[in-house]
Each structure stands twice: as C-alpha cells, then as structure tokens.
Chain A
Amino acid sequence: MVLVYVEHKDGKFKKNILEAVTYGKKTADMLSTECAALVIGNADTSALGTYGADKVYTLNADGLGDFDSQSYSSAIANTASQIGAKVVLMSDTASAKTLLGRVAVKLDAACISAASSLPKVEGDSIVVTSGTFSGKAIAHYSLSGDTKVMSINGNTIKPEELGAAGATEAISVAVDAPGVKVIGQDTLSSERAPLPEAELVVSAGRGMKGPENWGIIEELADAIGATTACSRPVADTGWRPHHEHVGQTGVAIRPNLYFAIGISGAIQHLAGVNSSKVIVVINKDPEAPFFKAADYGVCADLFDVVPKLTAALKKG
C-alpha cells in the first residue's frame, strides 16, 4: 500500500496536494498495489478519489486540533503501520518539512524530501531525483529498505483525473500528545498564490531604483494573476518583505513562467530560480549574466518596457 498524507485548509485541498495524490496512485501502480489517502480532521474528500486515491482514511482524535509535529507524525506513522503502507508520501509543504523526518525515524524508513520526478522501481529500491546545491545540480537518490518516506515538490506532475474509487473509512490509531501550542496565524490577505506554489512569478531587483517604483511590477503581476518576488539585495535593504526573496538563501521556486526584471542574475539568485520552466529577462544591461540563463530577453529600460508588456498582456 502507498499512503499519501493529504493536508487541507478549511476542508479544501490545494493543487499541490492533488498532485501528490496522483503521484501516489502512479507509484502504487508501479508497485502493483493500491493508493490510500489519509485526511486528518474534516474535509470534502470527493476530490481524492477523482485524482487517484483508491481508499480514503479519515482520522479525528484528541491532539490533532492544531498542527504539531509530534501528534501529526505519530498519526501518520501509526496509520502507515496499521494499513501496512511501505511508501508514505506528502506534498513538500511547510508542514511536510516539519513532519517528514519524524515520520521516517518512527518507521525506520529511507527518506528524501522535495522529490522532483516520478519514482523508478529498481528491485526493492526506489530511485527519485531531488535538487541539490540549491538547484545547481540534480541528485538521483536510491532509497532502500522496507519502507520509504518522501515529500513531493509542487509542479512535479499535474493532477490527473484518474477516477479511483476513493471509498472513505474512519480509522482509529494512537496519537501522541502535541508538544507545541499554536497561538495564532498571520497569513497575508494577498489574493496571490504563495511563492512555492505559484505557477507565474514576476520578480524584480535593484534595477527598480527604489520601493516607490514597485507599482508597475504589481500591475504586471495582476494582469496575469502572478505572484511577486524579489532578489536578495532588495529584501535586505527593506524595499520588499523578506518572504518575497527568491534565491539560494531565500525561497527556491519552480514556476512555469518567471519574469526577472532589473535583476542581474548572480549565481546565488539563479540557483533558486533555474528550475523555472520558462524565464523572461528584462534588463537594460546587455552584459547582465541573467540573459545567459533565459529563454526570452528584452534589453531595454524596464520603466519603459514593463508598462508596455502589461498593456500587451491585458489586450490578450
């Protein structure tokens, strides 16, 4: 059995979670077994069958009210043991980063985070790729042993309507007491997708000359429903908030389309964005290193060209 832990927010599943379900079903097919999803709390589970879950386990228990690594990892590991799951998957989210290692230690499993390819089954081992050196190289990891635990990068595969049964069953397992108490959450009211999940990203750098000029970047992003990002110097000088910083020591992203505007393209920046499918660079310096890493380039003053691009996008 392959078990996919499916996170939800207010009972709804995001696209990256459904990707993980489809990934789980494809992995189960390779191993000639079934794919089960585990839902903690209450959610509309109908989509899980659609995207590949043969079976859906729902779990409600004391200690699972707020997210905590000890209670949630015990719930996932004990469910895996109870149903005999040999592969445990989850989408590579902030929660996954908190849970994954704990679940792997509990199950004495081989573990890899942020897998970026479907697995290859080689005997008793599973081989998957994952980015290393902040995107400067890709490693093929061979996971051996009886049990494997993996998180899956967003945008690794597309969710597919596979139409599995998705029969729901309540499950009961032992759950450890939470060690951490959640006091509150402060999520941005932004309509934009968080950077790690974003398919379209508009990013700008020092070429903007100052924070007061970001209006044209916001307008470009709004025209296509993109998420805004920035380079490290821009975040460090406080022109933009730190959570927008993409690059080696910021957020690593892999959108379908990345606009780099007024960013020279230092190696540390490229490392965090070079998994983007398509890169467009706008820079007035023809020697900017970013042009060497781009698919499309515009060598011009960004203050002139960005509004023209926004207008062209709005015209459709």
Chain B
Amino acid sequence: MKQLVCISRTPETTANIALNGDGTDIQTDGLNYILNPYDEWYALVRALELKEAQGGTVTVINVGGAENDIVIRKALAIGADDAIRVDAQPSSAMAVAKMIADATKDGAYDIVYCGKESIDYNGSMTASMLAEYLGLPFVSYASHMDVSGNTATIKRDIEGGTETVEVPTPFVLSAAKGLAEQRIPNMRGIMMAKRKPINVVSPGEAKNNAVVSMYELPKGKGDIKMIDPDNMEELVRLLKEEAKVL
C-alpha cells in the first residue's frame, strides 16, 4: 500500500500571537514552529501503523521553503520513508491543495491523509480541496479506521456523535483525535531520518484569491468582577441583568 501524508508547519500551541505595527501580519520573530499536531499525532502515526501491519510505504509532503525541512525531518524520524517538499510559500488552502495535487496526482497513492486542520489558520479546507483536485472520495474528521483489502471502514466525527462509512481506495481523509496515538521519535529514527530523501519539487500553477488583508487581536476582557463565594445569588443576578446571557 502506498500512503501519502500531507504535513504542515505551524507555530507551537503555547505561542503568543502578536501583530506587527500596522496589523498586516503577525510577528514571526521568536515564534517556535512545530509539525502540525493533527498531521503528526493522528495522520502520520495511523499511516505508519498500517504500513507496519500491511507493508508498503509512507511518503510525507509539505508546501514551504527550506526552513520547513526541520519539521519534515521530524516526520521522517517518526517513521516516514521519504518526503516531498513543494518549494513555495503556502499562501492559501486552495493554492496548497492545488500544489499538492499537481505534485502527487501520478503517484498512485492508496490513502492520502491530512490533519483535520492546521492549528494556525484552522480552515479545515485543504483536505476537501485536495480530494476534489485529485477526483477522489473524501472522509472528514476520521477518528477510527480499519483497512481490509481495498476497503476502509472509517468512523468520522459529526455533530453530537459519529458516522461510520465504507470507502474504496484510493481516497482522501482528514485525521481527528482518536485515529492514532502520538509517537515520540527515538534516537535510531532521528539518525535514520538524516539519510532519508527530501525531494524538492517546483510548484505547479496556483492562484490565491482569499488573502488576509489585516489581522486583529481579540478584544481583551475588561476588569474581572470577583463574586463572594457565599453569594451565588449575586452571580446569577449579574448573569441575567448585567451580562444578559441567562
């Protein structure tokens, strides 16, 4: 089985986000970057588990500059066999999806994974766009998957529960919590990753018609009102009369 995992580089989860002077961009100085958790913890690890059980290969693909090689090496250290880096700055979900599709459409991958979202732009759009560009079935928010022969049985998260679907390979999925458990790379994996190939390819043509014109930070809360623990009636009154949320 040939598997492809799309990976993204994002600021770490504890990062504080600040803006530049005119709010046209975020301040990137001092930001630490990680492999997007949904891509790493769930998508990549489930692909590796399937490879260990059924054989085949796991390739990771990323759209970005050479600065992304650190997170790509981490994916290789966790166990991916090889990597493709599309040498372009990721400008929008649509552009990233198109570039990944162009770079992989002749790769005959059986399962293509994305994380359910990247924790920077949170759009959850790339996977369904990629499925459309590749002309493949798509299962979003997969939280459990069994594969038998050419058929996968997948549980996906829906409002207030789960839905179970059957889908023939090849297909695209987006990985949610539960699909697998995070793996920490060991020293052997880290050493081996240094010798695994990162194939740098030029991007296909893509346009970006959804651009960020400005950022703002969420409005800070005003001063907190502390309530006497023995007077919960006062809290209820404030929630009703002042905040008007009850």
Contact = CB atoms under 8 A, between A and B. Distances in A.
Contact of B16 (A98, A224, A267, A312): A267
Chain A interface, DSSP helix/strand/loop, else mixed: mixed
Contacts of A98: 128, 138-140
Nearest to A129: B216
Given A143-B209, A179-B167, A185-B161, A137 B215 contact: yes
Interface of B: 11, 13-17, 19, 26, 37-38, 93-94, 97, 116, 119-133, 136-141, 143, 153, 156-168, 171, 174, 177-178, 209-218, 221-222, 224-227, 229-230, 232-233, 235-236, 238-239, 243, 245-246
Nearest to B123: A113
A298 B236 CA distance: 12
6 contacts: A113-B125, A141-B211, A143-B209, A197-B159, A291-B224, A294-B221
A253 to B, nearest CB: 13
B225 A296 contact: yes
Interface stretch (A33-41, A51-59, A167-175, A276-284): A276-284
B212 A135 contact: no
A97 B141 contact: yes
B129 A105 contact: yes
B3 to A, nearest CB: 18
Contact of B239 (A94, A134, A249, A296): A296
B209 to A, nearest CB: 4
Contacts of B132: 73, 101-102, 105-106
A109 B132 CA distance: 13
Contacts of A15: none
Interface residues of A, number: 95
Interface of A: 67-70, 73, 93-95, 97-102, 104-106, 109-114, 127, 130-145, 179-188, 190, 194, 196-197, 200, 224, 242-243, 245, 248-250, 252, 256-257, 266-268, 271, 274-275, 277-281, 291-300, 304-305, 308-309, 311-313, 315-316
Contacts of A144: 209-211
Contacts of B221: 279, 292-295
